Amino acid sequence: MTTDAATAVAHPNIALIKYWGKRDEEWMIPAVDSLSLTLDVFPTTTTVRLAPAGQPDRVLLDGRPAEGEIEKRVLVFLDMLRARTGRREAAVVDTRNTVPTGAGLASSASGFAALAAAGAAAFGLDAGPAALSRLARRGSVSAARSIFGGWAICHAGSGSGAEADLGSFAEPIAAPDFDPALVIVVLNAGPKAVSSRAGMRRTTETSPLYRAWADAGRADLAEMRTALARADLDQVGEIAERNALGMHATMLAARPAVRYLSAATLTVLDAVLALRAAGTSAYATMDAGPNVKILCSRTDAALVADEMRAAAPGCRVLTAHRGPGVRLEAVR
Ligand code: 2P0
């Protein structure tokens, strides 16, 4: 029996310029570029242990056998690793999430970043950061960004199939002077009713607003890079907020509508607007779920968190900062 095994830890990231929609589902190629901040909260720890060829793969999520879509996606990823390396061993994947799975809190980003790093190490695939990012993208596009700490941009690339695969990966962006806080308001930690994958497919196929948002996103990205380099919180926040609201507008215009925002989300958004009206720089972004992430300065984070607790009593509010990229650890 072989003893090849590796453990990796990765953190989720929150996109300020969003990825929504694929150009190629088989190769997991995003239709748009995206830009994100990897966080210092909610790590995922994944161990991949090889087992003799012929045994079934096993996938454990928080100690229990994974089921349905999650198990299927991990098994497809293992098949890809075997195809790449020419190895035939089975694998046991043991994943521990500290973030609720599938709640729009980027569990697939940290999950597939950790799986890519641990899987590559266990199967003996020698992958540098860009190659590891490409590999993680095959599991979940947002995972490509969690390979890196801090700010990262994920390129959509061009072309299709294997050519597109080469051009679509994330890389870090230097923004040494910009180190804000992200206040996370957890309104609902349950799994979403519509998966990101299904929601974005329906949006790209049926929403008359999708193309307009994707086009506007190119300008958003260029302006965002300038704002980041200048460490201009208000500019970064404004661009992030409009890009996120635009993404949700494309979903609302899908047929039938895809709606992740809840009444509580809008209540929190009102509280963010009230804070801004009162002079605090705070800007909201939402992903494929009702939860709200609020960008603000480190100095204002406690005030923003208190205001959000008052606006949405009983919800969990925590503050995140810039976090590290994926790393291998001693096997657990
Ligand atoms: C993002 N989201 O850029 C966007 C914004 C949600 C809204 O990436 O199908 O889990 O695995 O590539 O990455 C969530 O979608 O979807 C996501 P797949 P993923 O962070």
For β-strands 58-61 and 90-97, DSSP reports them as parallel
Q: Measured from the CB, is residue 203 less than 6 Å from ligand 1?
A: no
Residues of the chain with CATH 3.30.230.10: 5-175
**pLDDT mean over 108-122:** 97
Ligand 1 centroid, distance to 19 Cα (angstroms): 6
pLDDT of residue 248: 98
pLDDT of residue 143: 98
Residues of the chain with CATH 3.30.70.890: 181-320
Q: Measured from the CB, is residue 20 less than 6 Å from ligand 1?
A: yes
Say which CATH architecture domain 181-320 belongs to: 2-Layer Sandwich (3.30)
Nearest ligand 1 atom, CA 141: 12
Cβ–Cβ < 8 Å for 4, 87: no
Residue reference for tokens 């635009």:
246
**pLDDT mean over 322-329:** 98
Ligand 1 centroid, distance to 199 Cα (angstroms): 10
Please state whether the predicted TM-score (pTM) of the whole model is above 0.95: yes
Q: Whose CA is nearest to atom 13 of ligand 1?
A: 142
Q: Whose CA is nearest to atom 4 of ligand 1?
A: 19
Percent of the chain with pLDDT over 70: 97
CA distance 332 to 329: 8
Give the up-direction half-sphere exposure of residue 87: CA atoms within 13 A in the CB hemisphere: 19
Is residue 247 classed as helix, strand or coil in its secondary structure? helix
**pLDDT mean over 120-148:** 97
Helices 196-206 and 233-252 meet at what angle, rounded to 10? 80
Token pair of 94 as six digits: 């043991």
pLDDT band, very low/low/confident/very high, at 188 (cuts 50, 70, 90): confident
CA distance 11 to 147: 9
| Distance set, CA 96 to CA 3, 8, 46, 72, 230 (Å) | 21, 11, 6, 17, 37
Q: Whose CA is nearest to atom 9 of ligand 1?
A: 197
User: Among candidates 286, 290, 307, which has minimal Cα distance to 240?
Assistant: 286
Nearest ligand 1 atom, CA 140: 11
* 53-80 tens-digit pLDDT: 999 999 999 999 999 999 999 999 999 9
> Can you give 174-195 as a three-state secondary structure string?
CCCCCCCEEEEEECCCCCCCCC
Fold (CATH) for 5-175 = Ribosomal Protein S5; domain 2 (3.30.230)
pLDDT of residue 211: 98
**pLDDT mean over 260-286:** 98
Nearest ligand 1 atom, CA 34: 3
Nearest ligand 1 atom, CA 197: 9
Cβ–Cβ < 8 Å for 140, 100: no
User: Among candidates 14, 24, 43, 22, which has minimal Cα distance to 288?
Assistant: 14
User: Among candidates 77, 303, 296, 266, which has minimal Cα distance to 187?
Assistant: 266
pLDDT of residue 226: 97
pLDDT of residue 141: 98
**pLDDT of residue 3 exceeding 60:** no
* 136-175 tens-digit pLDDT: 999 999 999 999 999 999 999 999 899 999 999 999 999 9
pLDDT of residue 191: 75
Q: Residue count of the chain, please give it.
A: 332
**pLDDT of residue 104 exceeding 90:** no
CA distance 120 to 81: 7
**pLDDT mean over 281-304:** 97
* 7-48 tens-digit pLDDT: 999 999 999 999 999 999 999 999 999 999 999 999 999 999
Q: Measured from the CB, is residue 201 less than 6 Å from ligand 1?
A: no
